[in-house]
């Protein structure tokens, strides 16, 4: 039951909400649309549900276009950001609402309700009204309701937005395990990169109505294809540099610094300008004044953010720029071993370096 | 602290002292409304013997309940169009005209409706005579405005994704309206009904314009009898009314509390 989105575009007046988006989502896949507010991810989701119709392009499920179908005839169900549980109905009636529209018999409907309530472990709450449930419980009921019709495609609109952080972490994993148990193809819209990475098999990063990169969480994090995706997911150090030599490895001269960078990226040609991208956790921080060489920069500690498991250290380089390094707090006194204005050396492996085109 | 209590007492007295006097004097034995003689309930019995008053009361009740029902239907339709249909050509004019009767003086509404009915009679021969039907039509026209205001505010605060969710689960637009939207806005429709009922029951000016011979609503009967001198019967009638209003407003307050979102009744989700 693959879902194909083919060259879909949608404008509201002068705003191009979605521009020429194409995606293929495989059967059983959990796919995340990740992007900031106004990037078009919600519009795309609403087009799949049938609440908006695209100006051009096509949406196919199992090869058949669903664009001509109104929302109530699509085999697509959505879990709304506000959950949209019907306040005047009990949990049971809320869940039964979908199957009842299909004209199932009373017994079949009751079986469906039991089945999904068991799936989300909410059997005890079947007679309650939504207002008598906590946020996490409401979310489970909303999920159960959207699964009760056994849809070909499940849409989750910012599923964790209404939950507090601790509950969010737990519900992310739980929701994934329920969705995987059912085996339904699922598209999640979220602005939270951690949520996207925790929950999905693949992620599409959207910006200004366009898809910027599609890949597994690891691909997106380790090999961002542009400055936008690199900066959107996690934090990253970007240093402008020019290629001076390319052989088995590429050598670059950093701008406003004497140091050179060596990396394994062999696409680069001599004289080209790039951004050298290094994730903070791949930067090693040393208090010893090591011999200057390639992939080595000196500086002083500008700021330390102690986060418990690790500390984020901001190092002011000799050219005044700030570079981030993560220091794992392996020993309990790790934090006390460094101090503000202390001279340090930053170094990294050639394998950790990624080159990103400057003009992006 | 003491001053505020005195002020509060003064305010309440200003508002309700006349009512209290009225209730007390309804138990006055004397024929003269302003002179107290002794306690008696005879005016209550006199009241029930007065056929004109009873007929006026029954007519008013009939017109008021029919008015409330019709204006709730039309008012809900108007609210739905105003809130849910987005922008459409003439929307501003439509919403303006819908609520205009709220600020229109009764005299003007009454006169214009009278002219309409007279004109219609000449043109198409209907309404052949003015009476209960014309009063009902007139009352519906201005009660729609009140119902629209009450219902549309409720519709506006209703979470629109509820309707989308119902549609997503396979319900067509008509089902969505009757199974989701209507139950959720029902408290507003009920208070709209009560409001229309009260307004219709209370109206004197418009009814006087569009009424015909033989169709006298209660306010009209009272008004004309008061012109001949206030009878203590009116005091008794007013007391019954005050008691009825007290009971019904307590009931509606209780209902509103019972169905508030906090107690798991009809309300918005977070």
pLDDT in tens, A222-281: 999 999 999 899 899 999 998 988 888 888 888 877 788 888 887 888 888 899 999 999
**Contact B145/B100 with Cβ under 8 angstroms?**
yes
- Which pLDDT does position A197 carry in this prediction? 93
Instruction: Flag whether B253 is in a domain.
Output: no
Which residue in A76, A101, A132 has the most chain B C-beta atoms within 10 A of its own C-beta, making it the best mutation to test that interface?
Answer: A101
| B258 close to A (CB below 8 A) | no
Tell whether B131 is within 8 A of chain A (Cβ): no
How close A42 comes to chain B (CA, Å)? 13
Q: Are residues B85 and B175 in the same domain?
A: yes
Helix (H, G, I), strand (E, B) or coil at A318: coil
Comparing CB atoms, the residue among B168, B169, B267 nearest residue A87 is B267
The pLDDT tens digits for A117-159 are 999 999 999 999 999 999 999 999 999 999 999 999 999 999 9
Whether residues B44 and B120 share a domain: the answer is no
| pLDDT higher than 60, residue A286 | yes
pLDDT attached to residue A291: 64
- The per-residue pLDDT for B269 is 36
Residue B41 lies in a domain: yes
* Helix residue ranges, H only, B125-217: 132-157, 160-168, 173-176, 182-202, 205-210
Helix (H, G, I), strand (E, B) or coil at A303: strand
* Residue B242, domain member (yes or no): no
| Residue B261 located in a structural domain | no
Please report the pLDDT score of residue B268 as a whole number: 38
Q: What is the pLDDT of residue B265?
A: 42
Which pLDDT value is given to residue A359? 63
Mapped onto helix, strand or coil, the DSSP state of residue A15 is: strand
- Provide the chain B residues 145-164 that lie in CB contact (below 8 A) with chain A: 159, 161-162, 164
* B88: alpha, beta or left? (left if phi > 0; alpha if psi -120 to 50): beta
Which chain A residues are closer than 8 Å to B182 by Cβ?
Answer: none
Gap from A86 CA to chain B (nearest CA, Å):
6
Do B31 and B108 lie in a common domain? no
pTM > 0.80: yes
Among candidates A70, A84, A149 on the partner chain, residue whose Cβ is nearest the Cβ of B159: A84
Question: And the tokens for A24?
Answer: 């293929």
Question: Would residue B3 count as lying in a domain?
Answer: no
**CB nearest to A82's CB, from B161, B264, B266:** B161
Is the backbone of residue A121 left (phi > 0), alpha (psi -120 to 50) or beta? left
Residue of A nearest to B187 (CA): A88
My answer on whether B124 and B201 are in the same domain is yes
Tell me the mean pLDDT in the region A43-63.
94
User: Chain B residues with CB inside 8 Å of A75's CB?
Assistant: none
Say yes or no: B44 and B59 in one domain: no
CA-to-CA separations, B52 to B200, B217, B222, B240, in angstroms, rounded = 19, 10, 10, 17
Q: What is the pLDDT of residue B266?
A: 41
* Long-range contact set of residues A8-15: C-beta below 8 Å, sequence gap at least 24: A8/A44, A8/A47, A8/A54, A8/A56, A8/A57, A8/A58, A8/A59, A9/A54, A9/A55, A9/A56, A9/A57, A10/A40, A10/A43, A10/A47, A10/A52, A10/A53, A10/A54, A10/A55, A11/A55
Binary contact (A131, B168; C-beta < 8 A): no
Check whether residue B126 and residue B178 sit in a common domain.
yes
Between strands A296-306 and A310-317, the pairing is: antiparallel
On whether both B81 and B187 belong to a single domain, the answer is yes
Domain end, chosen from B9, B30, B49, is at B49
pLDDT for A283: 92
Q: Does A112 contact B at CB distance below 8 Å?
A: no
State what percent of residues in chain A have pLDDT above 90: 66
> In this model, does residue A106 exceed pLDDT 60?
yes
Question: Are residues B29 and B120 located together in one domain of the fold?
Answer: no
Overall average pLDDT of the B128-134 stretch: 89
pLDDT of residue B256: 67
Query: Of A82, A143, A155, which to mutate for an interface test with B (greatest number of B Cβ within 10 Å)?
Result: A82
Q: Which of A215-229, B180-194, B223-237 is the least confident region?
A: B223-237
List of residues 6+ apart from A132 with CB closer than 8 A: B264
The answer on B225 and B156 residing in a single domain is yes
pLDDT, averaged across chain B: 88
Residues B44, B61, single domain; the answer is no
Q: What is the pLDDT of residue B228?
A: 80
A276 close to A353: Cβ distance less than 8 angstroms? yes
Return the residue of B nearest to A79 by Cα: B165
Smallest CA–CA distance from B181 into chain A, residue: A86
A86 touches B at CB < 8 Å: yes
CB contact under 8 A, A101 and B165: no
Q: How much is the average pLDDT of B47-54?
A: 88
Does the residue B246 lie in any domain? no
pLDDT tops 60 at residue A301: yes
Distance from CA of B96 to the nearest CA of A (A): 27
What pLDDT, on a 0 to 100 scale, did the predictor assign at position B127?
84
Confidence of residue A53 (pLDDT cuts 50, 70, 90): very high
Which residues in chain B have Cβ-Cβ distances shorter than 8 Å to A97?
A: 166, 169, 171, 179
Question: Across chain A, what does the average pLDDT equal?
Answer: 91
Is B88 in the same domain as B205? yes
Q: Smallest Cβ distance to A132: which of B164, B172, B264?
A: B264
Mean pLDDT of B30-59: 87
Longest dimension (CA), chain A: 79
Is the confidence at residue B263, as pLDDT, over 60? no
Identify whether B10 is part of a domain: no
Residue B43, domain extent = 18-49
- Cα–Cα distance, A272 to A357 (Å, whole number): 9
ipTM: 0.85
In this structure, what CATH number is given to the domain that contains residue B145? 1.10.3720.10
CB contact under 8 A, A129 and B270: no
Which pLDDT score, from 0 to 100, does residue B259 have?
62
* Domains: count for chain B: 2
Query: Which of B154, B161, B168, B184 should we substitute to test contact with A (largest number of A Cβ atoms within 10 Å)?
Result: B168
Q: Are B158 and B124 contained in the same domain?
A: yes
Asked whether residue B96 is assigned to any structural domain, the reply reads yes
């Amino acid at each position: 039951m693959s879902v194909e989105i083919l060259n879909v575009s949608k404008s509201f007046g002068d705003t191009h909400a979605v521009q020429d988006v194409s995606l293929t989502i495989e059967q059983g896949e959990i796919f995340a649309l990740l992007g900031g507010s106004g990037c078009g991810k919600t519009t795309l989701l609403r087009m799949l549900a049938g609440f908006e119709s695209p100006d051009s392009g096509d949406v196919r499920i199992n090869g058949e276009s669903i664009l001509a179908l109104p929302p109530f005839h699509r085999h697509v169900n959505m879990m709304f950001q506000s959950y949209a549980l019907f306040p005047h109905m009990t949990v049971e009636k809320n869940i039964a609402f979908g199957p009842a529209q299909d004209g199932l018999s009373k017994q079949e409907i009751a079986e469906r309700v039991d089945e999904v309530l068991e799936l989300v472990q909410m059997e005890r709450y079947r007679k309650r009204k939504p207002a008598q449930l906590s946020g996490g419980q409401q979310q489970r009921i909303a999920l159960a309701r959207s699964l009760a019709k056994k849809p070909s495609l499940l849409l989750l609109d910012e599923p964790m937005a209404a939950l507090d952080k601790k509950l969010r972490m737990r519900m992310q994993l739980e929701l994934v395990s329920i969705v995987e148990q059912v085996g339904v193809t699922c598209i999640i819209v979220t602005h939270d990169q951690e949520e996207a990475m925790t929950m999905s098999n693949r992620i599409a990063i959207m910006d200004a109505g366009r898809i910027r990169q599609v890949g597994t969480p690891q691909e997106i994090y380790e090999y961002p294809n542009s400055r936008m995706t690199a900066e959107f997911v996690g934090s990253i150090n970007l240093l402008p540099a020019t290629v001076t030599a390319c052989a088995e490895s590429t050598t670059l001269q950093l701008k406003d610094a004497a140091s050179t960078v060596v990396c394994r990226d062999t696409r680069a040609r001599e004289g080209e300008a790039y951004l050298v991208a290094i994730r903070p956790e791949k930067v090693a921080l040393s208090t010893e004044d090591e011999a200057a060489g390639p992939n080595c920069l000196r500086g002083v500690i500008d700021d330390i953010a102690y986060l418990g498991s690790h500390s984020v250290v901001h190092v002011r380089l000799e050219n005044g720029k700030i570079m981030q390094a993560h220091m794992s707090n392996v020993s309990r006194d790790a934090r006390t071993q460094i101090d503000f204005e202390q001279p340090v050396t930053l170094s990294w492996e050639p394998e950790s370096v990624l080159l990103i085109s400057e003009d992006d | 602290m003491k001053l505020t209590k005195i002020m509060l007492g003064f305010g309440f007295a200003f508002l309700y002292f006349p009512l209290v006097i009225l209730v007390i004097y309804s138990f006055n034995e004397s024929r003269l409304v302003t002179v107290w003689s002794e306690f008696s309930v005879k005016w209550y019995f006199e009241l029930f013997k007065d056929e004109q008053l009873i007929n006026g009361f029954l007519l008013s009740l009939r017109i008021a309940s029919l008015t409330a029902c019709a204006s709730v239907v039309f008012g809900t339709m108007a609210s739905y169009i105003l809130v849910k249909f987005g922008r459409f050509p003439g929307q501003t004019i439509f919403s303006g005209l819908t609520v205009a009767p709220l600020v229109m003086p009764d005299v003007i509404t009454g006169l214009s409706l009278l002219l309409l009915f007279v004109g219609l009679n000449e043109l198409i021969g209907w309404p052949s005579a003015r009476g209960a039907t014309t009063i009902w039509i007139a009352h519906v026209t201005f009660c729609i405005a009140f119902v629209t205001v009450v219902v549309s505010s409720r519709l506006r605060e209703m979470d629109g994704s509820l309707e989308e969710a119902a549609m997503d689960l396979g319900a067509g637009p008509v089902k969505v309206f009757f199974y989701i939207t209507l139950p959720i806005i029902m408290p507003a429709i009920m208070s709209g009904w009560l409001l229309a009922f009260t307004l219709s029951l209370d109206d004197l000016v418009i009814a006087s314009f569009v009424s015909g011979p033989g169709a006298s609503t209660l306010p009209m009967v009272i008004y004309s009898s008061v012109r001949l001198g206030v009878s203590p019967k009116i005091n008794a009638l007013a007391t019954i009314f005050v008691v009825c209003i007290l009971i019904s407003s307590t009931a509606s307050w209780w209902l509103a509390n019972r169905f508030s979102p906090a107690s798991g009744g009809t309300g918005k989700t977070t």
